[in-house]
Amino acid sequence: MSNSNNLNKRWFYLATGVFTMLFSGVLYAWSILKIPFKESFGWSDSVLAFNFTLTMCFFCLGAFFGSLICKKIGPKITLLISGILVGIGFVSTGLLNSSLPYLIYLTYAILAGTGIGISYNVVVSTVCAWFPDKKGLCSGCLMMGFGVSTLLLGNVISILFENPSFGWSKAYILIGAIIGAVIILSGIILQLPSKDITFPAPKAQKKANKENFEVRDFSTVEMLKSFTFWRAFVCMAFITAVGNSVISFARDLVLSVEASAALATTLVGVLSVCNGLGRIITGAFYDALGRRITMIAANFLTIVAAGITLIAVLMHSLPVCIIGLCLTGLSYGSCPTMTSAFTASFYGQKYFSVNYSLTNFNLIFASFIANFANSLLISSGGYTAPFVMLLILAVCALGLNVSIKKP
């Protein structure tokens, strides 16, 4: 096959990756997916909040092990394993009853979380290998698919939950079957580019935006020895923690400022849309303006988002809260795109799959911060304390952000 035909094929792989990420991203609709367990079973907020934290932990572990497995056996079998884990995880969650609250940690967090983590890493690394010249755009499109899942699927799931002839149990089983099938199908379609393909050269950035450092492939050990990596890691963990916290209690937050239940569900979807937009906008900015300007701008946006949402809580204002949610979604959406593009730009493509999975471990730390934010919410009885903490972390992240330099 000619080089031009191979290059045209990469856009089909990108579309396949976006479609797969669209279904995989339902994991982030936890503020909707947790409703049956809270309303029907009366499970506590602490149990449900910890499940989301645990889900993010196993999502990251799944991404790491997925990168290792894919390196050995390729994307096809790895995505088959992922699809089976996700299917079993969601189906078994749909079969839970009120006497087994902690089994959700096994079914949803460990099985589904690990499975989606595997597919996330394999899809991103496989598709991005076709776009060395458009790393930011490719990452942004894939992350957009993952981010908008809550809007496109969240409302459908909510309707199924409320339908007495269907119900939440059958909804979970249906979700598991569909997502598992989509991931397995993507494994049949996606493949890595052969070594004989010549890709276009990346578009040169303006000198003012271009960072001057040695461009080479860093092994995972070399990356972990780099102080630059750890500064970026902690910075992104703090930025991500703001969005992670809001996602975990988004619906309840909106209800607290007197939104209706229907509007609260819709606004969770709006948060998801902004999350998706933030991912693709950040990718475009990264390609056009470079790493430094994009990451600092995203950090400033996170500070503003946390500050405005705090004001909304203090004023008990629904309109201000909506603005805060939108800005939080945009800022949160910037994080995975920056993580992917930063890892590829600073540490190269050769070891990208493993390096990216380890950089993504910032989600684990962010999730524990989100869990602590939920604990503050429960102990203080309001959202003021959590958002004060998140605002402080966003400001600390900025200090780390401006200090990130060549590896």
Summarised one tens digit per residue, pLDDT across range 95-147 is 988 777 889 999 999 999 999 999 988 998 899 888 887 776 787 788 778 77
Computed over every residue of the chain, the mean pLDDT equals 85
pLDDT band, residue 5 (cuts 50/70/90): low
Kindly state whether residue 307 falls inside one of the protein's structural domains.
Answer: yes
- Judging by beta carbons within 10 Å of its beta carbon (0-12, 13-18, 19+), is residue 220 exposed, middle or buried? middle
pLDDT band, residue 186 (cuts 50/70/90): very high
Q: Is the pLDDT of residue 168 over 50?
A: yes
Summarised one tens digit per residue, pLDDT across range 189-226 is 998 888 777 777 666 555 445 555 556 788 889 888 88
Q: What is the DSSP string of 87-124?
A: HHHHHHHHT--TT-TTHHIIIIIIIIHHHHHHHHHHHH
Kindly state whether residue 180 falls inside one of the protein's structural domains.
Answer: yes
Q: Is the pLDDT of residue 406 over 80?
A: no
Q: How many domains does the chain have?
A: 1
Kindly state whether residue 357 falls inside one of the protein's structural domains.
Answer: yes
Q: What is the DSSP string of 11-40?
A: HHHHHHHHHHHHHHGGGG-HHHHTHHHHHT
pLDDT average, residue stretch 300-322: 93
Predicted confidence at residue 9, as pLDDT, reads 85
Q: Report the CATH number that the domain containing residue 278 is assigned in CATH.
A: 1.20.1250.20
Predicted confidence at residue 202, as pLDDT, reads 63
Higher pLDDT, 233 or 337: 233
Q: Are 294 and 171 in contact (CB under 8 A)?
A: no
Q: What does the alpha-carbon distance between residue 48 and residue 44 come to, in Å, rounded to a whole number?
A: 7
Tokens of 407: 């590896």
Kindly state whether residue 238 falls inside one of the protein's structural domains.
Answer: yes
Kindly state whether residue 353 falls inside one of the protein's structural domains.
Answer: yes
Q: Is the pLDDT of residue 254 over 60?
A: yes
Summarised one tens digit per residue, pLDDT across range 51-61 is 888 998 899 89
Share of the chain above pLDDT 70, in %: 94
Predicted confidence at residue 397, as pLDDT, reads 93
Kindly state whether residue 406 falls inside one of the protein's structural domains.
Answer: no
Kindly state whether residue 260 falls inside one of the protein's structural domains.
Answer: yes
pLDDT average, residue stretch 55-80: 90
Q: Is the pLDDT of residue 277 over 60?
A: yes
Tokens of 116: 């989606």
Domain of residue 187, residue span:
3-195+203-401
Predicted confidence at residue 302, as pLDDT, reads 94
Kindly state whether residue 407 falls inside one of the protein's structural domains.
Answer: no
